[in-house]
Amino acid sequence: MILSLHSTTGAILASNSNSLEQAIILGIVSHYFLDSIPHVEYKIKNIQKGDLKMAAKEFTKIFFDLLIGFIVILYLIQNKSFDQSILILVGSFFALLSDGLYFTDCLIKNKDQNIFTKSLKTLTNFHQKIHSSITNKLITIPSQIITVLILIYIIFK
């Protein structure tokens, strides 16, 4: 699932929460829920291979995706109290955390190095198992569009 969708979903759900704990849980749960919906993933083969020169296009896509999510979140925190803004930012952060850990895991060469890298490997394996295995674009693209339309409705209602 695209990063802006994860961050926006976590932010929207957290905007209706009453505590930091709720915002964290909603952010995490929203990530795994969205990943269970059939969707298309970024191709980050060059990043995974460690070929950072060839990965420039992949990094550019990720950057602009995160930027779009950030712009939407800035819109969401307009006219919100400081406390509510913090909840929105926390929900967004935790909605992205799993992909951030996956990305970190991709960059680590020796995954059996220590307790952190072993734990990270376990988390990313769990993350991969949650993902929908459906890759048919007749299913994945409409499901992503429907998800985005639902979020747009929620934002502007």
Average pLDDT over residues 41-58: 80
8 within 8 A of 73, measured Cβ to Cβ: yes
Q: Using CA atoms, how far apart are residues 33 and 5, in angstroms rounded to an integer?
A: 12
Residue with tokens 């969401």: 76
- CA 113, CA 42: separation in Å to the nearest integer? 27
Reported as a single tens digit per residue, the pLDDT across 7-36 is 999 999 999 899 999 999 999 999 888 888
Report whether pLDDT(99) > 60.
yes
- pLDDT at position 1 over 70: no
133 vs 87 pLDDT, higher one? 87
Q: Which amino acid is at 68?
A: I
Query: What is residue 111's predicted lDDT score, i.e. its pLDDT?
Result: 65
How far apart are the C-alpha atoms of 109 and 90, rounded to whole Å?
A: 30
Residue ranges of alpha helices (H) inside the chain are 3-15, 20-36, 45-49, 56-76, 82-107, 115-130, 137-156
Residue 90 or residue 3, greater confidence: 90
